Chains A and B, each alone.
Chain A
């Protein structure tokens, strides 16, 4: 009975989203205040019923209700409770419910934090999100209902959660990634609402910016968590594989990064309006594309859910209608978006334009490489795959160019900057960065590598120009501390995010250049040298877990005869599904990671294992944390709140003015 309640509340959420997707929008176009005002209560209703629905699914997991097909497929009585609850997103149906629930959460947030926006705008934003939400719920009810029952004979026990998913990373990565993904729907809805109302002004950009920043920050963390999880769980020693399912979040992130920069220009200077709207549509399309790729079974990957053609078709229809419709609306309204302001060839506007072009080209080439095998197969019927060399060949040069611009942008002024000024500011920085780039890898790691030099030099380029800018900004003030305090939060947000790029660059460059990896067969008592470290295999013991059996190896690590610690990787066999799984052991450090994955035991008692030494790999994720932190504090800038009030007064004045001319 209880699972049926979950389904009823899903249906109720659908009905409410249909109302939300129609009444407030009609109300906004006819200026019917009562209908517009319905948007907030309807949003709350959608959120509550989606919440009830997902809670009931979690309850079905917690109580081992295997009469629910989704529970039977993804849980087991032996599964620990934290994985039972999170198995809600362990498969296609439940994860889509989570996705939709996240959308509900964002909608609720919009309805709560939009008190200072005019009601017609809020009604349109929530209306657009309501349509999306209705489409998602309809998709669930029609093709992938998580509450489907197995009748008449439910299994006595479930098939268990995929053993690769039984990990802490699984608890946090999917919700964070979805939340970031879905956040771009909000920015998209703002753009569509602006197109619908014909008000694409600085106020619209200012309203969208905090949302875009927060969504971007969460997506950044979501992707970084995925990378970190894949790194330690899949045990292949890498942090990014250019997997077809890793790529759509990256595409969305690249569009999103372009968007938050372009929004800045639109807010400050009132230009790039149509471009900003286009980016909002593209970022949203990227998120839908990600859903389509994971759920249609078109591509082979770690993430792919079991495929069903009808699902792929349904999502393709949603994708087509949403993207096609919004682009059509964009084409109809684009001529209205006139930019008045002018700017010189050397100005912050042009640098941000450069940033946008590079990011969009990068996104497009990742998109091409991801979908090319599918298109190729459709045309020639031959199966091909595109490997990491393609993506590296394209992506690395583009990102180097981007970073070169990145340091210059914040130093530039809007409208016009003199080239002589830039030379004065950056001449020394160029020399210092080159020197640091050559010296630091040599001193720290006693080796030379071009990749390391380039990345350290670029990181120094960002950080030194950032310090220079900070020094400029505080130079003529009486007290330096007071001057620092007076700088706006959004400035600090920007610099933090840029510093994050520098930190990430160091991580990527040094890890790529100085990592060691070796697969070996070791008998107890044998040892092996790898990158200044000695790994000694002491033997293995049997271990028993709640739902698995396994072996644990003991490997002691030392450097220059100084013991560092013991690594204890495991190899497990999960009882319910019979699948083996390796649990790698990591000795994580700020400057290097050491880790070992176990292979198999030979009859002689020797074990095959792969040993890795990864310098500076943590810096990659640390950089992502810096970026996300920057995005969040920029969104907290008090100017958004202060100015909103003024905008509201002006906007309501405009609204009544428009009404008079209309009537």
Chain B
């Protein structure tokens, strides 16, 4: 093999090796970091294992919000208008968190079967409905008109 061919082969091997390693690493990292999304109905049906990190989408049920006077603990119900799931959270809620608003919650079900949230996301724009919240409502059969009017309450 001529010198420059060998060099070219070296470079190609280098790139192939790099790409291979990168793809392997990427796929491994992806498989480790997927957060599956569930609707309140699916959770109530027991589709989620305790300890599994998931996301839940839904509307904050009217009148369900409760907060402790002496700590940052709060609880509220996320609903898809078919089933409710009570969410427990300790911390400060986002600015746009309100009853009747769409939210997405990240967290896991603990040993006692309670949903402990690690993060609560509220929508940032009045006209904007999160894909995940919409999916949860669609799955439960609530119509678009229904929830848009509820969201504005």
Residues of chain A touching chain B, judged by Cβ–Cβ distance below 8 Å, are: 159, 162, 164, 298-300, 302, 304-307, 342, 344-345, 350, 353-354, 357-358, 361, 364-365, 368-369, 372, 376, 382-387, 389-390, 393-394, 397-398, 519-521, 577, 579-582, 597, 599-600, 602-604, 606, 608-610
8 contacts between A and B (CB under 8 A): A164-B124, A300-B130, A353-B11, A365-B26, A521-B70, A599-B72, A606-B70, A609-B92
Q: In the complex, which residues of chain B have a beta carbon less than 8 angstroms from the beta carbon of A520?
A: 72
For the complex, what is the distance from the CA of A197 to the CA of B56, rounded to whole Å? 55
Binary contact readout B65-82 vs A (1 if CB under 8 angstroms, 0 otherwise)? 001011110000000000
Q: For chain B residues 74-124, which have a beta carbon within 8 Å of chain A?
A: 90-93, 95-96, 104, 124
For the complex, what is the distance from the CA of A393 to the CA of B131, rounded to whole Å? 26
The residue in chain A whose Cβ has the minimal distance to the Cβ of B135 is A383
The residue in chain A whose Cβ has the minimal distance to the Cβ of B126 is A577
B95: which of A344, A354, A383, A581 is its contact (CB, 8 Å)?
Answer: A581
- Asked if residues A357 and B18 are in contact (CB atoms below 8 Å), the reply is yes
- Asked if residues A300 and B131 are in contact (CB atoms below 8 Å), the reply is yes
- Asked if residues A610 and B55 are in contact (CB atoms below 8 Å), the reply is no
For the complex, what is the distance from the CA of A248 to the CA of B15, rounded to whole Å? 24
Q: For chain B residues 1-31, which have a beta carbon within 8 Å of chain A?
A: 4, 7, 10-11, 14-15, 18-19, 22, 25-26, 29-30
Q: In the complex, which residues of chain A have a beta carbon less than 8 angstroms from the beta carbon of B132?
A: 300, 383
Task: Contacts A345-B10, A387-B33, A521-B71 given; indicate if A582 touches B95 (C-beta within 8 A).
Answer: yes
For the complex, what is the distance from the CA of A510 to the CA of B70, rounded to whole Å? 34
- Asked if residues A368 and B93 are in contact (CB atoms below 8 Å), the reply is no
The residue in chain B whose Cβ has the minimal distance to the Cβ of A361 is B22
The residue in chain B whose Cβ has the minimal distance to the Cβ of A303 is B124
A599: which of B26, B92, B126 is its contact (CB, 8 Å)?
Answer: B92
- Asked if residues A579 and B95 are in contact (CB atoms below 8 Å), the reply is yes
The residue in chain B whose Cβ has the minimal distance to the Cβ of A353 is B11
For the complex, what is the distance from the CA of A364 to the CA of B130, rounded to whole Å? 26
Binary contact readout B42-71 vs A (1 if CB under 8 angstroms, 0 otherwise)? 000000000000010100000000010111
For the complex, what is the distance from the CA of A160 to the CA of B124, rounded to whole Å? 14
Task: Contacts A382-B37, A519-B91, A603-B69 given; indicate if A579 touches B96 (C-beta within 8 A).
Answer: yes
Q: In the complex, which residues of chain B have a beta carbon less than 8 angstroms from the beta carbon of A609?
A: 92
Choose among A357, A361, A383 the residue with the greatest number of B CB atoms under 10 Å from its CB: A383
- Asked if residues A394 and B26 are in contact (CB atoms below 8 Å), the reply is yes
- Asked if residues B34 and A386 are in contact (CB atoms below 8 Å), the reply is yes
For the complex, what is the distance from the CA of A304 to the CA of B125, rounded to whole Å? 9
- Quick check: is B36 within 8 A (CB to CB) of the other chain? yes
- Asked if residues A383 and B37 are in contact (CB atoms below 8 Å), the reply is yes
- Asked if residues A390 and B69 are in contact (CB atoms below 8 Å), the reply is no
- Quick check: is B32 within 8 A (CB to CB) of the other chain? yes
For the complex, what is the distance from the CA of A520 to the CA of B91, rounded to whole Å? 8
- Quick check: is B149 within 8 A (CB to CB) of the other chain? no
- Asked if residues B15 and A580 are in contact (CB atoms below 8 Å), the reply is no
Q: In the complex, which residues of chain B have a beta carbon less than 8 angstroms from the beta carbon of A581?
A: 95
Task: Contacts A383-B37, A385-B35, A603-B69 given; indicate if A580 touches B29 (C-beta within 8 A).
Answer: no
Q: In the complex, which residues of chain B have a beta carbon less than 8 angstroms from the beta carbon of A372?
A: 30
Choose among A298, A384, A582, A599 the residue with the greatest number of B CB atoms under 10 Å from its CB: A384
Q: In the complex, which residues of chain A have a beta carbon less than 8 angstroms from the beta carbon of B126?
A: 159, 162, 577, 579
Q: In the complex, which residues of chain A have a beta carbon less than 8 angstroms from the beta carbon of B25?
A: 393-394, 397
- Asked if residues B37 and A385 are in contact (CB atoms below 8 Å), the reply is yes
Q: In the complex, which residues of chain B have a beta carbon less than 8 angstroms from the beta carbon of A298?
A: 131
Q: In the complex, which residues of chain A have a beta carbon less than 8 angstroms from the beta carbon of B26?
A: 365, 368-369, 394
- Asked if residues B92 and A162 are in contact (CB atoms below 8 Å), the reply is no
For the complex, what is the distance from the CA of A449 to the CA of B145, rounded to whole Å? 53
- Quick check: is B146 within 8 A (CB to CB) of the other chain? no
For the complex, what is the distance from the CA of A563 to the CA of B55, rounded to whole Å? 43
Choose among B15, B92, B135 the residue with the greatest number of A CB atoms under 10 Å from its CB: B92
For the complex, what is the distance from the CA of A597 to the CA of B90, rounded to whole Å? 16
- Asked if residues B124 and A385 are in contact (CB atoms below 8 Å), the reply is no
Given contacts A342-B7, A521-B71, 13 further A-B contacts (CB under 8 A): A307-B128, A357-B18, A382-B36, A383-B55, A383-B57, A384-B35, A385-B55, A386-B34, A519-B90, A521-B72, A599-B92, A604-B70, A610-B91
The residue in chain B whose Cβ has the minimal distance to the Cβ of A162 is B125
B33: which of A358, A389, A606 is its contact (CB, 8 Å)?
Answer: A389
